Every structure is written in structure tokens, then in C-alpha cells.
């Protein structure tokens, strides 16, 4: 009986061992599972994992290397802005025209080699030293002719030697008289007294001193007179120069507030010129975030938005940090920006208040 039970139990064990996992729902047969090394699994996970966004700490590191501002405003620096005004006793503006120039500032001549004169207009590019107009100066030019004549006379008088010649002749006569007395004594001993000879010698010395004095006085007076005339001539020339409207910078004419033939008073603003190739963008930095030493002299990138979503980037540099702290605990930072042209027009316009600035720290 015991042998029968043993036979049945062994038969059941054989049936269990021969069954498959899908048939019995038990643990899988490890003999049918492919072995994958741990290193290969790790490599597979790296290749298939998606690229994750940078962690917050990376963003903080980027911000720490740049100071970013979104509310900068663009202006024209004072040294890039010139107003040409009417001079003292201005009078009539007789000309508001200039010679035509090419993009390099060279005068464009006509077929005969003479400059081509064109009216001054808004938007015209002008160059430093270019004459843009002038006021009447007939009276001054007449004065200049008088000054030139007076200077010639003064120079001639400085060279005149009549007084010096007279003093020289007197000295020669005194010396001749002294020699005559000495000669008389040489011929006849005691013919002339020592007192008389002494008076003659004194007269000669006096004449010689007078000659030197006359030379000195003549030279001083005439030299001073020439200097005065030269100064008057130079002053008249300066006054004539001031009656011309001359550009002091390379720039563009943006305002014209007068017309040819108009009589103007002293100080009337005639032309306004701006240089737009370099602008200044100002931002305000908080004192609890930045020190002046963090920003001064650093490179900057300036971004400006244009229509249709276009953005333009410009090079810049921090040229000044105002040490004055404002009421909102900020200080102004001045960034000099190199502007660019689009055809005949400059991209950054003065007065924009939406300029973005990134300063490398």
C-alpha cells in the first residue's frame, strides 16, 4: 500500500516539472530568460532617456554672469548734439547752403572743378568743419581792410629810424668835438684846458646814452603798435568766422529753424545736428544687487525690438556709473552703443524706452 502512494506522488512531481509558466501562471523558467549584463542596461537607459531641462541652479549661474535690464532708454550724448545759433548782432542770414559731399566727406565738384552748392535740408549728413550758412559780414570785411592797412603802417613805422638817426648824428658830433680838442692839445700842449675837455667828454657820453635810449623806446613803441594792429586784425577775422554756421561734428541735420534772407537776433537757434553713429543707453541698477565696480567698463549687449517681431543686437560698453543714488535705491548706468545703418537711416532712434541691456559681469 505504501509503495502505491509513493508511485502516485512521484508521478505528480514529474507532471509539475514538465509544465510551462504560461500554463501554470507561476514564476518564469529562468532557463528561457536571456541574460543582460548590468552595464548594457545602464547604457540602454542613457540612450533612450529624453533630454531634461537645465536644473534651476544652472539658470542662477547664467544670471550671475550677466546683469539684465529690460527698461533702458536711448539718448544722444551731449557731445554728439550741436545747436548752431545766430552770433552777436546777427542780422540777416544771407546763406543757408553748403557744398555737396559724398559719403566719405569729400567735396563733389562740377565739370569745371568748382564745388556744387546745394541747399541745407533736414536729414542731410554733414561733416565736422563743413560750412552750412553765413550771416551778412560786409561791415566786418571793411573793418578787416582797415586793420590790414593799419598793420602795414605800424610795421613801416617800426622800421623807421629818424629819431634813432638824429640821436646817432648827435653822438657822432659830440665825439668829433672831443677828438678836435684832444688834437689841439697834441699840437700845442695846454691849448685846451682839462675842464673843457671834460665837458666835451661828458657831452659825448650823454649823446651816446640818448642814442641807446631812443633805440629802445622806438623798438618798444613800434613793436607794441604792431602787436595791437595784429590783434585787431585777428579779432575781426574771428568775428567774420563766427558769422558762419560751421558743423562741429559729423552728423545729421535734424532741425532747421530759419530761412535765407531772414533777420535774426543773437542766440536764435538755426540748425540742430545730431551724431547718431554712437548713442547712449541708460539703465537703473539697484544698489542691493550691484556695485559700481561690478558694472564699470564691462562689455554689454543691447537688444532692440522692431516691427514684425524682428530683434537687432548691438555692441556696447559701460562708460559711466553715476555715483548718485536715487530715491528708489538705484543708480544710473551709461552704456555707449555702436549704432548701425539700414540704408540711409540709423536703426536705434533716440528716445526709445524699451531697450534691453545685458552686461557681462
Which has the minimum average pLDDT: 131-140, 170-179, 327-336?
170-179
Residues 210 and 262 placed together within one structural domain of the fold: no
User: What pLDDT digit, counting tens, does each position of 134-154 carry?
Assistant: 998 877 777 777 777 777 777
Does residue 9 lie within any of the structural domains?
no
At residue 33, does pLDDT exceed 50?
no
Q: What is the pLDDT of residue 235?
A: 80
At residue 358, does pLDDT exceed 90?
yes
**Average pLDDT in the 220-242 region?**
77
Residue 304's CATH number: 2.40.30.170
Residues 188 and 335 placed together within one structural domain of the fold: no
**Average pLDDT in the 33-47 region?**
41
Residues 231 and 303 placed together within one structural domain of the fold: no
d(CA 53, CA 57): 11
Residues 73 and 204 placed together within one structural domain of the fold: no
Q: What domain count does the chain have?
A: 3
d(CA 50, CA 43): 14
Residues 161 and 228 placed together within one structural domain of the fold: yes
**Average pLDDT in the 226-251 region?**
84
User: Which residue in this structure is represented by grid cell 502512494?
Assistant: 5
**Average pLDDT in the 319-347 region?**
93
pTM: 0.58
Mean pLDDT rounded to a whole number for the chain: 77
Does residue 102 lie within any of the structural domains?
yes
Burial category of 297 from C-beta neighbours within 10 Å (exposed 0-12, middle 13-18, buried 19 and up): exposed
Q: What is the pLDDT of residue 52?
A: 38
Q: What is the pLDDT of residue 148?
A: 79
Residue 103's CATH number: 2.40.50
Q: What is the pLDDT of residue 65?
A: 81
Measure CA 71 to chain center: 26
Does residue 93 lie within any of the structural domains?
yes
**Average pLDDT in the 320-343 region?**
95
Residues 292 and 325 placed together within one structural domain of the fold: yes
Residues 150 and 187 placed together within one structural domain of the fold: yes
User: What pLDDT digit, counting tens, does each position of 67-96 carry?
Assistant: 999 999 999 999 999 999 999 888 899 999
At residue 44, does pLDDT exceed 90?
no
Q: What is the pLDDT of residue 142?
A: 75
Alpha helices in the chain (DSSP H): 2-18, 21-24, 38-48, 56-64, 138-159, 162-187, 194-242, 292-295
Measure CA 356 to chain center: 24
C-alpha cell recorded at residue 302: 543691447
At residue 160, does pLDDT exceed 70?
no
Give the list of residues 6+ apart from residue 170 with CB closer than 8 angstroms, or none.
Answer: 207, 210, 211
- For 154, the domain range is 140-242
Specify the length of the chain in residues.
Answer: 361
Does residue 310 lie within any of the structural domains?
yes
What is the percent of the chain where pLDDT is above 70? 65
At residue 191, does pLDDT exceed 90?
no
Q: How many CA atoms lie within 13 A of 265 on its CB side?
A: 0
C-alpha cell recorded at residue 89: 548782432
d(CA 239, CA 253): 24
Sign (positive/negative) of CA torsion 26, 32, 37, 40? negative
Amino acid at each position: 500500500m505504501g509503495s502505491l502512494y509513493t508511485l502516485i506522488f512521484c508521478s505528480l512531481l514529474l507532471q509539475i516539472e514538465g509544465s510551462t509558466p504560461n500554463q501554470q501562471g507561476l514564476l518564469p523558467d529562468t532557463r528561457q530568460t536571456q541574460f543582460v549584463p548590468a552595464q548594457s542596461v545602464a547604457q540602454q537607459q542613457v540612450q533612450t532617456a529624453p533630454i531634461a531641462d537645465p536644473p534651476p541652479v544652472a539658470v542662477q549661474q547664467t544670471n550671475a554672469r550677466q546683469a539684465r535690464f529690460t527698461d533702458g532708454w536711448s539718448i544722444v550724448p551731449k557731445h554728439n548734439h550741436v545747436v548752431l545759433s545766430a552770433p552777436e548782432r546777427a542780422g540777416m542770414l544771407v546763406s543757408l547752403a553748403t557744398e555737396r559731399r559724398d559719403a566719405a566727406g569729400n567735396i563733389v565738384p562740377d565739370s569745371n572743378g568748382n564745388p556744387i552748392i546745394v541747399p541745407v535740408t533736414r536729414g542731410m549728413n554733414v561733416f565736422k568743419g563743413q560750412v552750412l550758412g553765413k550771416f551778412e559780414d560786409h561791415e566786418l570785411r571793411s573793418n578787416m581792410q582797415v586793420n590790414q592797412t593799419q598793420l602795414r603802417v605800424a610795421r613801416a613805422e617800426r622800421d623807421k629810424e629818424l629819431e634813432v638817426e638824429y640821436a646817432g648824428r648827435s653822438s657822432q658830433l659830440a665825439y668829433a668835438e672831443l677828438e678836435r680838442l684832444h688834437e689841439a692839445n697834441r699840437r700845442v700842449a695846454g691849448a685846451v684846458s682839462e675842464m673843457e675837455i671834460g665837458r666835451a667828454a661828458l657831452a659825448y657820453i650823454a649823446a651816446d646814452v640818448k642814442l641807446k635810449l631812443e633805440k629802445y623806446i622806438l623798438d618798444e613803441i613800434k613793436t607794441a603798435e604792431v602787436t595791437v594792429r595784429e590783434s585787431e586784425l585777428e579779432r575781426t577775422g574771428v568775428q567774420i568766422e563766427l558769422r558762419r554756421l560751421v558743423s562741429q561734428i559729423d552728423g545729421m541735420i535734424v532741425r532747421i529753424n530759419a530761412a535765407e534772407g531772414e533777420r535774426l537776433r543773437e542766440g536764435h537757434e538755426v540748425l540742430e545736428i545730431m551724431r547718431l553713429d554712437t548713442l547712449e543707453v541708460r539703465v537703473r541698477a539697484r544698489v542691493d544687487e550691484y556695485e559700481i565696480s561690478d558694472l564699470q567698463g564691462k562689455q554689454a549687449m543691447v537688444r532692440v525690438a522692431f516691427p514684425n517681431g524682428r530683434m537687432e543686437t548691438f555692441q556696447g560698453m559701460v562708460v559711466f556709473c553715476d555715483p548718485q543714488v536715487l530715491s528708489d535705491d538705484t543708480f544710473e548706468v551709461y552704456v555707449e552703443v555702436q549704432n548701425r545703418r539700414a540704408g540711409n537711416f540709423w536703426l536705434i532712434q533716440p528716445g526709445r524706452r524699451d531697450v534691453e541691456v545685458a552686461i557681462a559681469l
